[in-house]
C-alpha cells in the first residue's frame, strides 16, 4: 500500500505541507494555516450548494463549522501574537478555543497598541465576525468558562452531556448560501487585519 505522505508524479496532484510554512516564522505560519481552515470551510459549503445529493450537507456541516471556527481561532491568535510583539509584552498568544475571549483580547490589545488600526476601524471591519461570535455563543450556550466549542467535533462535551442540537425537538438549521457570503467577508477581514499588522506594523 502506497504511503499517504508520498510523492505523486503529477505536481498538481500533490500537496506540500511545508511549502507555505517556515521554521523561522511562527506568526506567518499561523496566518497561512488559518487561511487554509477558512478556505476549506467555504469551499466545502460551496460544494454542498452545488450538489447536496443524499442531503450530504447534513453531515458535512460539522467539518464546515469546525474548520470555520478553528480558522477564526488561529487568525485571532496570530493577531494577538503580532500585537504582543508590537507592544513588546514578551508573550506569544493565549491558550484555549473560546472565540469570544480571544476576540475580547484582540480588542483590548488594539486599544493599547495605538497604531495604524484604530479600535473603531477594527470594530467596523469585524462587525460580521463579532455578530457571528455572539450568535454562535447564544446558540451553543457557551459562557466564558464553559465554551462548548467542541460542538462540531463531538455530539457531547467532556462530561458526555449532549450538545444543543442532539436533543432539540425542532430542526437546527444553517443557511449555506448565507454562510458562504458571511464567511468570505470574515475571512477577508481577518486576513487583511492579520497581514497588515504583521507586514506593515510589526515589520516596521
Q: Count Cα atoms within 13 angstroms, Cβ side, for 46.
A: 11
Check residue 22 and give its pLDDT.
86
Q: Which residues pair with 162 in a beta bridge?
A: 156
Residue 39 confidence (pLDDT): 98
pLDDT mean over 11-34 = 92
Q: Which residue has the cell 506567518?
A: 28
Confidence category of residue 141, pLDDT binned at 50, 70, 90: confident
| pLDDT, mean of residues 171-199 | 96
When pLDDT is cut at 50, 70 and 90, the band that residue 80 belongs to is very high
**52 vs 181: CA distance, rounded Å:** 18
Q: Residue 14 in contact with residue 8, Cβ under 8 Å? A: yes
**Residue 9 confidence (pLDDT) above 90:** yes
Rounded Cα–Cα distance for residues 186 and 194 (Å): 12
Question: Domain residue spans in the chain?
Answer: 25-202
144's CB contacts (< 8 A; 6+ apart) are 98, 100, 101
Amino acid at each position: 500500500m502506497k504511503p499517504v505522505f508520498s510523492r505523486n508524479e503529477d505536481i498538481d496532484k500533490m500537496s506540500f505541507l511545508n511549502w507555505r510554512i517556515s521554521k523561522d516564522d511562527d506568526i506567518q505560519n499561523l496566518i497561512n494555516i488559518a487561511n487554509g481552515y477558512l478556505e476549506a470551510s467555504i469551499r466545502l459549503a460551496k460544494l454542498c450548494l452545488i450538489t447536496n445529493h443524499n442531503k450530504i450537507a447534513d453531515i458535512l456541516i460539522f467539518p464546515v463549522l469546525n474548520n470555520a471556527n478553528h480558522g477564526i481561532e488561529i487568525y485571532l491568535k496570530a493577531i494577538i501574537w503580532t500585537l504582543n510583539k508590537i507592544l513588546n509584552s514578551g508573550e506569544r498568544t493565549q491558550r484555549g478555543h473560546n472565540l469570544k475571549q480571544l476576540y475580547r483580547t484582540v480588542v483590548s490589545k488594539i486599544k493599547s497598541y495605538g497604531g495604524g488600526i484604530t479600535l473603531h476601524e477594527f470594530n467596523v471591519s469585524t462587525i460580521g465576525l463579532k455578530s457571528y461570535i455572539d450568535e454562535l455563543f447564544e446558540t451553543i450556550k457557551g459562557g466564558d468558562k464553559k465554551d462548548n466549542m467542541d460542538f462540531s467535533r463531538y455530539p457531547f462535551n467532556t462530561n458526555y452531556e449532549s450538545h444543543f442540537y442532539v436533543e432539540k425537538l425542532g430542526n437546527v438549521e444553517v443557511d449555506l448560501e448565507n454562510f458562504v457570503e458571511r464567511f468570505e467577508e470574515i475571512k477577508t477581514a481577518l486576513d487583511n487585519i492579520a497581514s497588515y499588522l504583521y507586514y506593515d506594523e510589526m515589520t516596521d
